Structure 1
Amino acid sequence: MSVNSDMFTNPLHLDLSMHFSTERIPERTVYAKGTGALGYFTVTHDVSQYTKANLFNEVGKQTPVLVRFSQGLQSLGGSDLARGLKGMSVKFYTKEGNFDIISPWFDLLKKNPRTNLNDVTSRYDFLTSVPTSLHGYLWTQADYGVPDGYRRMDAFPVHTYELSNQNGERYYVRFNFRTEQGLANLTSAQASEISGRDPDYYARDLYNAIAQKNFPAWKLEMDVMSLLDIKGADYDPFDLTRLWKNGTYETVQVGRLVLSQNPDNYFRVIEQSAFNPGNLVPGIPGPVDYVFKARRLFYQHAQTHRLGSNFNNIEANCPRYVKTYNRDGAPPLGDNMRDYPNYYPNSYNGPLPYVDDSRPSQKLIVLHSNAADLQPHAYFYNHILKTDDERQRMVDNIVPSLLNVTPPVLQRVINFMYLIDPDLGSRVTIGLEAARAAVNVIPAVTPVPKN
């Protein structure tokens, strides 16, 4: 039918061709490249002392989950093995609605608007202008920056969450997901070699493990501080850029997360998944910091842009036991609230909003200082990195990125390295001088003395 005929004579060809150009949705601005799986969470310890959340209220209770892993700064076509922050977002399908935990949060600069290239000078200009951000950057440049697959990494949601129990008492926690597979990381050389032959190494590793019924698992624990502990802390426990100090909190085991099912269609389940830190449940009123408050707004906006205003009706995002008053508009619509009233309050069976009468009205006031606190950076360098070999590998990863940084910014970088620790500053300076000599580049920075 195609010879001496127009395109409309072959409707199948026309339909396929027109559909082809609509088969993509906007990719995520950050954490675009990723993978994921389905599974369940089981409560293993009684934590009713800290929260009345139904999700955690009974030892042995299981809750379905959806987990997405991702790369912080990689586009959909990027490499799993790029050095940087890795994300692990968990959606709990609870009887009280969806509860989303997102780990971590990071958005460091876009490409240079003129060259459309990654700009190392801009990166270090930001890091040294906002020196608290240097702490997270050191983690990414150390061995932790390239784990040996998603199954072999821990995950740390960065916010401090407020919890409340049946009596209205408040506690403040940081959730930690600890891998049961054992921590394992790759060197830069190993990552480069694997990336050259399999840039989807992490996704393949996770998929194959689940397909072979070697189900990956993580223990969920909480670092807990009481309201009295929070008030007495000599640091800001709500600061996203730092770890809590040892001795100021207790660690409580909560449960076990297991990934047991690969999605039958990646696009339907993972690419259309939408995680929102504003998805909270009774007993977990959530973080109180301003970064979290901002995220509640712009995550919703991003998901509306990427998936449409009814993104919560997509199967992967839809609460399994809770109804809302959102209806109509662009598909998907689900049951579109059937014949429930479209107003509230009403005299029928429409959904009821949750009001926590037990939550106290007292608010915390946190006073901030403009001084650059480099204690977390120094602690990471001297205590989290336990050997000289680990410290030197981190320096070896940092030095090449400094070669093309312009002198004023480069000087600030070196100064901050010495301020964090004189040994770190010395190692970076020596490494940079050696790297410049190797490529015959005239030094553009004055070494800072160790004292």
Structure 2
Amino acid sequence: MTVCYTVILLLTGAVCAYHDYVNTLEPAARQLLDFKLDYPKPIGIITTMAGKPVDIRETTTLNTDGLTSNEFFLDDVMHSVAERIPERAVHAKGTGAFGYFEVTHDVSEYTKADVFNGIGKRTPVAVRLSTGLGSKGGNDLAKEIKGFTIKFYTNEGNLDLLGLNVPVYLYTDPSMFTPFVHAFKRNPRTNLFDLTAQWDILTLKPIILHGIFWLYSDYGSPNGYRKMDGFPIHAYELSNKHGDRYFAKFNFRTEQGFENLTTDEVVTISGQDLDYATRDLYNNIALKNYPSWRIEMDVMTSHDITNVDFNPFDVTRLWKNGTYHTVQIGRLVLDRNPDNFFEAVELSAYNPGSLVPGINSPPDTIFKSRRLAYRDTQNYRLGINHNRINVNAPKYLKTYNRDGVPPVNDNMKDVPNYYPNSFSGPVPFVDESRPKERIIVFDSNAVDLESPSNFYRYILSDEGQKQRFIDNLVSSLISVVPEVREKGLKLLTLVDLELGTRVRAGVTAARRKIKDDPWMTIYH
């Protein structure tokens, strides 16, 4: 029997057949209709959590013998009040997709990592893209640093590369994490973002300024996740099969065309769709317009790394031109949306310490702190067995870890649960080509304004970019209390005289326009 559907389009008042209706909607909006098309009939009988079929009379609690005797109701209400898990402390709002990485160039000279060797080899990946500081209900286009994280499911274990959409981090001292996050998140009394707190921490810890400059420029507003680059911020130590060492910074370069939005465009789009970047990624994958990125690495030799006139492991600065060469590795392609967001994205866990042979730990202090903090936060969010959740599980797992909060899967069955043992439990391997020397980095807390100065003078290459950057700084300073605002203006002048002068003039003009507003003059 053929069933005919007629759907009224409320926005236009038009009437069309079901299949015409499907073709007028974006994939994200027609997800439920697509499911109905795939499964014209109910997929089965409802059950309780214990698997008992549910009688139709148990789907209501009205005029029944009682709430506590209805297993379906008890399942429903008790599960619904416990279904949320803690959101991430940072990068809470995000989206994700699956795909593959394909090797396109021979990089065996630099690394023995199996995932990067063998032209044409494909490795499955999971990717999470996120905002930095907002909550799960926040705006995709908020002026926040974005996250770009890849999990490679390699034959040698999971490789997690955790990146940002800008090529620098915000500080070098791990103890700055909590003060920075607290200052840039919501005020504990007003529950509003507080620009005075943000500029206060900026003036007291000017090392943050370089990363914030990227944020306040056009680079801080990518046109969705598909059109932004990604940068794992550390300089990783690589080793080849001969034990030779290199140091590399990985880059993910969008093949959709790098594109940013102006502040006016952000305001317009945000007024219509807070999920703009999430929707854009989902729809393009659903339409088979698969987003892709070119993965490359900037490389220094062991000799280079010890002879440059700057700290190459300082995550707040760029490597100087001429001190490295760029090597192409392969392509990242996202070709599958998750079937269930919570299972595939919210339960995903990434750890900077998840590396593979041939890609070794960076020596900087921020990396050391991140590998500890990320592990701890995943234990808090997901439990000690988070690496046994499907999306996080490696291809191959042999461990002596047992029990704990589920999932435990087969819990290693009857394998001996201690090491060493004499009864055929898993044993370690010997990495013959592992480098025998270590790089030790001594970090400095000296204030260096060279990087933000170079950003303003050279990275912002045209007057339009500079003016939008200045406009954003002015906008952020208008409502800051006078003493902190003045410290901010003086700091900007130290970075670059022209910059400080133009921002001060902009703030003065903006303040003059609002001088009659009692809310804006209350602090004077």
What TM-score results when the alignment is normalised by the length of structure 1?
A: 0.95
Matched, 1:364 2:436: no
Question: Corresponding residue for 1:8?
Answer: 68
Measured in 1, the distance between the counterparts of 2:420 and 2:91 equals 40
Q: Which range moved further: 111-120 or 138-147?
A: 111-120
Q: 2:198 aligned with 1:123, yes or no?
A: yes
Gaps in structure 2 of 5+ consecutive residues: 1-60, 171-176
- 1:48 is paired with a residue of what secondary structure? coil
Q: Which amino acid aligns with 1:100?
A: D
- For residue 359 of structure 1, give the secondary structure of its aligned residue in structure 2: coil
Which residues of 2 match residues 402-413 of structure 1 at below 5 A?
402-413=477-488
C-alpha spacing 1:47/1:194, structure 2 compared with 1 (3 Å): same
Out of 383, 386, 403, the residue aligned to residue 328 of structure 1 is 403
Find the residue that maps to 2:330 and give its secondary structure: strand
Match of 2:320 among 245, 259, 282: 245
Match of 2:111 among 51, 55, 65: 51
Q: Which moved more, 1:368-377 or 1:96-105?
A: 368-377
CA–CA distance in structure 2, aligned partners of residues 260 and 345 of structure 1: 43
The residue number in structure 1 matching 2:426 is 351
Count of residue correspondences:
445
Aligned pairs for 1:28-427 (under 5 A) are: 28-104=88-164, 108-110=180-182, 111-427=186-502
CA displacement at 1:442 relative to structure 2: 6.8
CA shift, 1:355, in A, is 4.6
Q: Per the alignment, do residues 311 and 275 of structure 1 end up closer, same or farther by CA in structure 2, a change over 3 Å counting? A: same
Deviates more, 1:138-147 or 1:357-366: 357-366
DSSP-derived class of the 1:91 partner: strand
What are the Cα deviations for residues 188-245 of structure 1, in whole angstroms up to 9, with x where unaligned?
A: 1111111111111111100111111110000000000111111111111111111111
User: How far apart in 2 are the matches of 1:245 and 1:118?
Assistant: 35
Give, in whole Å, the separation in 2 of the partners of 1:442 and 1:15.
Answer: 56
SS for the counterpart of 1:380 is helix
Structure 2 distance, partners of 1:78, 1:335, is 39
Would the aligned equivalents of 2:223 and 2:259 in 1 still touch at CA under 8 Å?
yes
- Deviation by residue 1:12-32 (Cα, 9 ceiling, x = unmatched): 122211111011111001100
Moved more, 353-362 or 226-235: 353-362
Structure 1: distance between partners of 2:220 and 2:78: 42
Report the CA distance between 1:443 and its aligned residue: 12
Q: Which amino acid aligns with 1:36?
A: G
Aligned residue type for 1:90: I
Question: Match of 1:409, as an amino acid?
Answer: V
Paired residue type of 1:232: N
Structure 1 stretch 70-79 or stretch 123-132: which is displaced more? 123-132
User: Contact 1:276–1:300 (CA<8 Å) still a contact in 2?
Assistant: yes
* Secondary structure at the counterpart of residue 206 of structure 2: coil
Q: Write the letter of the residue equivalent to 2:483.
A: P
Distance 1:119 1:44 in 2: 46
| Alignment partners' CA distance in 2, 1:145 and 1:252 | 26
1:449 aligns with none
Per-residue CA deviation, residues 404-442 of structure 1 (Å, 9 max, x unaligned), is 222332222112211221111111111100110011167
Deviation at 1:187, TM superposition (A): 1.1
Task: Please state whether the residue corresponding to 2:283 is helix, strand or coil.
Answer: helix
Query: Aligned equivalents of 2:192 and 2:67: distance in 1?
Result: 42
After superposition, what is the alpha-carbon deviation per residue over 1:81-103, rounded to whole angstroms, capped at 9, x for unaligned? 10110101000001110000001
Classify the secondary structure of the residue corresponding to 1:92. strand
Is 2:363–2:440's contact at 8 Å kept on the other side of the alignment? no
What percentage of aligned pairs have identical amino acids?
A: 55
Q: Distance in 2 between matches of 1:26 and 1:89?
A: 20
Q: Check conservation: 1:436, 1:443, Cα contact below 8 A.
A: no
Q: 1:2·1:10 contact (CA, 8 Å) conserved in 2?
A: no
Say which SS state the counterpart of residue 359 (structure 2) adopts: coil
TM-score, normalization by structure 2: 0.82
Supply the distance in 2 between the matched residues of 1:211 and 1:400 (Cα, whole angstroms).
38
Structure 1 residues 369 and 7: alpha-carbon distance in aligned structure 2, compared to 1, 3 A threshold: closer
